[in-house]
Each structure stands twice: as C-alpha cells, then as structure tokens.
Amino acid sequence: MSANAYVAVVLYEATSDSPTYEPLYREDFVLVYAQSEEAAREAVARRVEGETGSHRNEQGELITVRCKRVVDVARALEDDLTRDADLYSRHFRDFAAYRRFEPLMTN
C-alpha cells in the first residue's frame, strides 16, 4: 500500500518573557505522506515537536514557540503532486472576519 499526501494546518504561538513582547502567531501548511489519516496525524505530531522550543532573539529575549493546535489534517485534494495541484481547501461564511484576520488583504 502506497503512502498518500496529507496536508495539515498547524497554528503556532511565539511568546517571550519580555513584558513588552506581543505574542506572534503563525499558521503552517505542512505536507506529509502516510498510509492513513491516523498515521498522518502522528507524522504531523512528530514535526510539531521539532518546531517547538525556546531560543534567544537578537535582543537577548527568550522566545518560546509552541503549537497552539493542529487545526486540520486532510488528504491532499490531488494525488499527483509532481505537477501543479490543488492541495487543500476550507470554506467559511464570514468574509469580514477573514479580512480582519488576514494581514495580506489590503482591499
């Protein structure tokens, strides 16, 4: 049985011990290959472990990155990822909320 492509949406939070630091959030889209959704979730969990931890930034502040949530793990929309392909899709109804959230939406 061959592995299938799965896409995971992972939300991370960066915090600091500095009183002036504002939490920074990041959303990653991760591609893993697995034989089942359960195996894909396990692969994502291993990747998340590698992304979490602490380090010092340029100002010497301790920055801690942790996974807030694995939002979704879903099979890729197309199997052949050797060419242009749709990977993942999700739907929503509140465009105004999306616009407030998405920093790249300028208009």
Q: 62: part of which helix (H) or strand (E)?
A: strand 62-75
Whether 100 has a pLDDT exceeding 90, the answer reads no
Q: 46: part of which helix (H) or strand (E)?
A: helix 37-51
Model confidence pLDDT, tens digit, residues 67-90: 999 999 999 999 999 999 999 998
pTM: 0.87
Q: What are the residues whose beta carbons fall under 8 Å from the beta carbon of 33, sequence distance 6 or more?
A: 3, 4, 5, 6, 43
The residue segments making up the domain with residue 74 are 4-78+85-101
| Domains: count for the chain | 1
Closest CA to 19 of 50, 79, 62: 62
Whether 25 has a pLDDT exceeding 90, the answer reads yes
In a domain, 17, yes or no: yes
Cβ count within 10 A of residue 6: 24
Confidence (pLDDT) at 102: 85
Average pLDDT over residues 47-58: 94
In a domain, 96, yes or no: yes
